[in-house]
A and B are shown apart, each in its own frame.
Chain A
Amino acid sequence: MLRPEINDLLCRTGPGTPMGDLFRRYWQPVLLAEELPENDCPPVRVKVLSERLIAFRDTDGRYGLIDEFCAHRGVSMWFGRNEQGGLRCPYHGWKYDVTGQAVEVPSEPENSNFCANVKLKSYPMVKRGDVLFAYLGDPAAQPPEPEWEAYTVPEGHVFTSKRLQECNWLQALEGGIDSSHVTFLHGGNIDTDPLFKGSKGNLYNKRDLKPYFEVVDYEGGLLIGARRNAEEGHYYWRVTPWVLPNFTMVPPRGDHPVHGHFWVPIDDGNCWAWTFDYHPTRKLTEDEIAAMRAGFGVHSANDEAYRPLANKDNDYLMDREAQRRGETYSGIAGIALQDSSLQESMGPVVDRTKERLVATDAGIIKARQKLRKAAEALQQGVEPVGNRPQDQRVRSVAIVLPADRSFVDGIGDAMIAEPSKPHTTV
């Protein structure tokens, strides 16, 4: 359980909140690159950390992320005309460049310098792989641009999707840290899902349904090791990294692509579940990408607005017959929706004063503690971790180790991402 004030501290990410300030020390994914596919394409509304913004790509291919509303009369710039190096409000023709600077105010006299004094709030936005990342914080504290391995691999090695999750970001993140639910909720998927099946690790998973856990504190966040019995005198380890504040990776299976998530607050009652799959040493196959688009692995099948086709309006397409037949544990198809259906059912912001945690929730307890401490420390001027390149060169790992080895010693450099280095997987 958490005291109400701590729950609020962790869940509220709007401007001026402690957790909002913390998030504003990190580059966050805000759009898929496909949402701004070409120069002068239509602008896109972006809501992130409870700020309403508009994103566009100008005539020269520069990305802009600016306040959604025109400085003149507060019109949404989503109605704007993206043309000739800027976004023009259709109401009175005020035009802004990618930095939010007004460059034309047609009603003013020629040679007027009025424009110079009109600037919308803007944030830097950069393309990495198939994703656009933005930084919403203090320019003076801006960290280096993101270097997550998924977004430094060669073209064709990564596929990213995003889906709307209609609950607070922390509920979604905690699902990514909570390894103990996997045996139950997702137990039916590892043998049938084209992005999981066939790995030797699946056998260990099925043979040992009561894993032990080790939660290891490390510089960028936590490493959560799930340990199962392997051959005599050996353990099968699945190691999930969490990097502050909202990045998690799932341990790999066989030669399948490896996947992970960013859990990005839209506002306090909604978030984007960003999901990536990449392979460090080869291109993804057409079949793999088709499977991801269809909602296999940890992706979901979505509508044009990136809302899952199975959502709370249709009870997530609950199939009690499939549940009875043992095809799914919860009756919901697909790992992503199995998670989000339950996390959304808690309500937009779950009341953690009423929860009843158990010892195996220690990873969640520790993550909350680290988030709280990081947010409080930032208020005292202490900069957080997780936004440095070395924090982001991290990998999840699946490995078999002798029983007497610390998994951190055992995996060694396997959790450090390097170009073209094969991932460590079973």
Chain B
Amino acid sequence: MAGFVKLSVPVGPSSCARAATSEEAAFRIDHPLASARNTRVVALDEVAAGIVREAAALEWGQARFFTVRDPGPTLVEVEGGEVALTGVLEDTNTVVMVSVTGENADAVAVIGVECGARGIMTAGLVVTPGALAGEALLQLRPYARILLVPAEPDDLVELLKATRA
């Protein structure tokens, strides 16, 4: 085509030069984002349970908090009631596992396999201040798509807030 210019140039309001200004940023649609994550947080040992209970006391959108012990098909809500893992995972898209001591490896495996089968995102917090390796890390590694090592206790709240849990 005669006169065809292959490379685009800013000729209209959709050009990058115009669209990426701070003035244009003011016209972005402003509506509240719904909480998109049905996040479930699972403490894998007693020390981790303390961290999770502290986080659970804050205000969250759809996050729910549990503890678990071997062999794992049953979770315990922070309020104390027992629930089946499979039921909890039905409406979940992210599971955050928190481990300090590296206990309850069987339960971790059960949760990890179930999440893998259902396409649920998994994250692990290895709260072992000062220690970069250990049972907790090895236990979570096969099942957590992302791990924080060593995580600090406030990392859980930071992660949940940042992901709008």
Contacts and interface: CB of A to CB of B under 8 A. Distances in A.
Contacts of A366: 148, 155, 158
Interface string A348-374: 110100101111111001101100000
A212 B146 contact: yes
A166 interface: yes
A409 B145 contact: no
Nearest to B8: A315
Contact of B164 (A217, A318, A356): A356
A: interface residue count bin: 35 or more
Contact of A359 (B16, B20, B161, B163): B163
Interface stretch (B45-53, B74-82, B102-110, B130-138): B130-138
Given A359-B121, A366-B155, A349 B146 contact: no
A344 interface: yes
Interface string B1-22: 0000011111000011101111
Contact of B16 (A214, A312, A357): A312
B121 A358 contact: yes
B: interface residue count bin: 35 or more
Contacts of B141: 212, 214
A369 B158 contact: yes
A356 B165 CA distance: 10
B92 interface: no
A357 B163 contact: yes
A406 B8 contact: no
A347 B20 contact: yes
Given A215-B146, A347-B25, A341 B16 contact: yes
Contacts of B7: 314-315, 317-319
Given A1-B164, A314-B10, A365 B16 contact: no
B16 A362 contact: no
Contacts of A2: 162
B132 A408 contact: yes
Interface string A53-93: 00000000000000000000000000000000000000000
A411 to B, nearest CB: 11
A345 B14 CA distance: 11
Contact of A361 (B21, B22, B152, B162): B162
B123 interface: yes
Given A215-B149, A314-B9, A351-B28, A358 B16 contact: no
B16 A315 contact: yes
Most buried by B among A214, A319, A351, A356: A214
Nearest to A409: B133
B10 A313 contact: yes
B161 to A, nearest CB: 7
A213 B122 CA distance: 11
30 contacts: A1-B33, A1-B164, A212-B144, A214-B141, A214-B146, A214-B149, A216-B149, A216-B150, A217-B152, A313-B16, A314-B10, A315-B15, A315-B16, A319-B7, A341-B16, A344-B20, A348-B20, A356-B36, A357-B162, A358-B37, A359-B146, A360-B121, A360-B146, A361-B162, A362-B123, A362-B148, A365-B162, A406-B132, A408-B133, A409-B132
Interface of A: 1-2, 166-167, 212-217, 269, 312-319, 341, 344-349, 351, 354, 356-362, 365-366, 368-369, 404, 406, 408-409
Given A212-B141, A362-B146, 11 more contacts: A214-B141, A216-B149, A217-B152, A315-B17, A317-B8, A357-B162, A362-B148, A366-B158, A408-B132, A408-B149, A409-B133
